Amino acid sequence: MIINKILVVAVALLGHSALLYGLTTMSVQPAKPKQVVMLLTPSPVPMGEDVVKQSKPQAKPRSVTRPQALKPRPAPAKAVSKVSETIKAPEQAAAGQMAAVTQAIAPAEAIPAPATAGSKNSKQISDEVPVETPPLFNTSYLANPRPSYPAQSMALGEKGRVMLRVKVSELGLPIEVELARSSGYRRLDDAARKAVERWKFVPGRRGDVAVVMSAMVPVDFVI
Amino acid sequence: MDLALIWHSGDPVLVSVFVLLLMMSVVSWCLILLRSSLLLRIKRGQKRFLASFWKASDWKEATSLTAHAIAPEAKLARAGWEGFIHYRSNAGKGLGLAVSLDDFLVRTLRTRLSQENARLELGLSWLATVGSVSPFVGLFGTVWGIYHALVAIAAKGDASLATVAGPIGEALVATAAGLAVAIPAVVAYNAFVRANRVIAQGLDGFAHDLHAQLLTAAAIEKEGK
């Protein structure tokens, strides 16, 4: 009889712990962005006879890519080397990750800055074409917030990549953010745009001078 | 619904609410399992005992049946027979025995009947209490959690849906837990009350039959003398 009672108590305790364990492990957790993968792809630009040596971008986005010379006609951006680095979110979510992939596009609409007389680029190349550096937005000290995944989109399983064309001022602030290519979902496009509008950038430079320049910012929403 | 998060948040009130609910639930389920197994055994034992008891040729055989039977009827029959023997051997000696056998038997059986009913009702008040109280315990946890979540949100100054919905959703787990504890308790309480009522009615009828049977036995003995 006493054994029977002990058995029953054990069964009850076991059932409760199993239920609690099941609830904690099977619970649906709100997906939070987990990693941001940055891909920097400089465009290769051969300079006439003497080919400028491609500087490989380093794994740390903090290291500014070595400037390269550009043809007057910008070559289409082709991924040459991929550098991915994972920025750990402060709170590691169990599910859901978002990757923002960026390509520094050959600046399509570089607006020439008022070049100060005598500002000579030390790294200038023989035919005096100043080196252009596209705007950056993935360096850690900028602390750009990741776009928050809209809850409704998550519930509906909406995912995709939003391409944004951002015009960056000389001070590194986004002047205008326009949708280059939609993800197919209005909600995701808006979330990405809203986030990127608050971002800060390292302004693009021609030589040593900061100029207004555009950059393509892809934002991936991955559940 | 992250229960580990509630532990880590370390709010003593919320933690104690959950611990209390867990304890209530464990005790209720232990009671549910024990009582239901007991009731099943009683039901089976009753059928067996009654069939064999009324078939018994004499009281000697009948009382031997009552020795190890689990049915409350067996205990009642045993008490009745012992009371009958007791009266017969001590007739007119004590204050309680200065009554007719009829009255004495009624008193004995009634006492035993109330004891058996009390034994059947063991744990029912606990189930009733848990069934009615645990939703409120859960609700208290929820209100407490929401209050603190709102205070934290106010301090943050950010009232976007994401910041509001998360902590409040967490707090609602307490209500769900309270209901999860209450529902089985209430269902079990109602089932047991009904089962007990059926058993008590059967017992009542059996007591009447037993009373008549014992009086008959006494009359036969008198005639035999």
Q: Tell me what the mean pLDDT of segment A63-69 comes to.
A: 46
More confident: B60 or A101: B60
User: Best of A27, A91, A153, A198 to disrupt the B interface by mutation (most B CBs within 10 Å)?
Assistant: A27
pLDDT at A143 over 90: no
| pLDDT of amino acid A39 | 52
pLDDT at A204 over 80: yes
The shortest C-alpha distance from A19 to chain B (Å) reads 11
Q: Residue A174 carries which side chain, given as an amino acid letter?
A: P
Please report which helix (H) or strand (E) contains residue A216, including its range: strand A213-221
Distance of alpha carbon B184 from alpha carbon A2, whole angstroms: 24
Interchain contact B29–A (C-beta under 8 A): yes
Q: What is the pLDDT of residues A34-52, one digit of tens each?
A: 455 555 544 444 444 444 4
The domains of chain A, with CATH numbers, are 132-221 (3.30.2420.10)
Distance of alpha carbon A66 from alpha carbon A47, whole angstroms: 16
pLDDT at A62 over 80: no
| pLDDT of amino acid B57 | 80
Residue-averaged pLDDT of chain A: 66
Closest chain B residue by Cα to residue A9:
B30
CB contact under 8 A, B1 and A13: no
**Most confidently modeled range among A75-89, B6-20, B24-38:** B24-38
- The answer to whether the CB of A68 falls within 8 A of the CB of A45 is yes
- The answer to whether the CB of A221 falls within 8 A of the CB of A162 is yes
Nearest to B30 among A8, A30, A148 (CB): A8
Please report which confidence band the pLDDT of residue A127 belongs to, taking 50, 70 and 90 as the band edges. Answer: low
For chain B, the residue count is 225
Instruction: Give the strand pairing for A213-221 and A160-168.
Output: antiparallel
| Residue A140 DSSP code | G
pLDDT at A10 over 90: yes
Here the tokens at position B125 are 């008040």
Q: Tell me what the mean pLDDT of segment B127-144 comes to.
A: 94
| pLDDT of amino acid A20 | 86
- The answer to whether the CB of B53 falls within 8 A of the CB of B46 is no
DSSP string, B60-77: HHHHHHTSS--SHHHHHH
Please report which confidence band the pLDDT of residue B59 belongs to, taking 50, 70 and 90 as the band edges. Answer: confident
pTM of the model: 0.55
Contacts of residue A192, Cβ cutoff 8 Å, sequence gap at least 6: A147, A162, A164, A183, A219, A221
Q: Tell me what the mean pLDDT of segment A78-92 comes to.
A: 39
Angle at B203 (CA atoms; ends B129, B86), nearest 5 degrees: 115
Which residue matches tokens 């209100």? B143
**Which stretches of chain B are DSSP H helices?**
3-9, 12-55, 59-65, 72-90, 101-120, 124-156, 161-224
Least confidently predicted of A106-120, A174-188, B33-47: A106-120
Q: What is the pLDDT of residues B137-184, one digit of tens each?
A: 999 999 998 888 888 778 877 667 766 777 787 788 889 999 999 999
- The answer to whether the CB of B148 falls within 8 A of the CB of B11 is yes
CA of residue A125 relative to chain centroid, distance: 31
Angle at A1 (CA atoms; ends B180, B186), nearest 5 degrees: 20
Task: Return the axis-axis angle of helices B161-224 and B72-90, rounded to nearest 10°.
Answer: 40
Q: Tell me what the mean pLDDT of segment B69-94 comes to.
A: 83
Closest chain A residue by Cα to residue B4:
A24
pLDDT at A15 over 90: yes
Q: Which of A137, A141, A131, A134 is nearest to A208 (CA)?
A: A131
Instruction: Give the strand pairing for A132-133 and A174-181.
Output: unpaired
The shortest C-alpha distance from A166 to chain B (Å) reads 26
Closest chain A residue by Cα to residue B181:
A16
**Most confidently modeled range among A105-109, B54-58, B71-75:** B71-75
**Which stretches of A28-185 are DSSP H helices?**
151-156
Distance of alpha carbon A69 from alpha carbon A133, whole angstroms: 9
- The answer to whether the CB of B81 falls within 8 A of the CB of B59 is yes
| pLDDT of amino acid A78 | 42
pLDDT at A118 over 50: no
Nearest to B29 among A15, A24, A148 (CB): A15
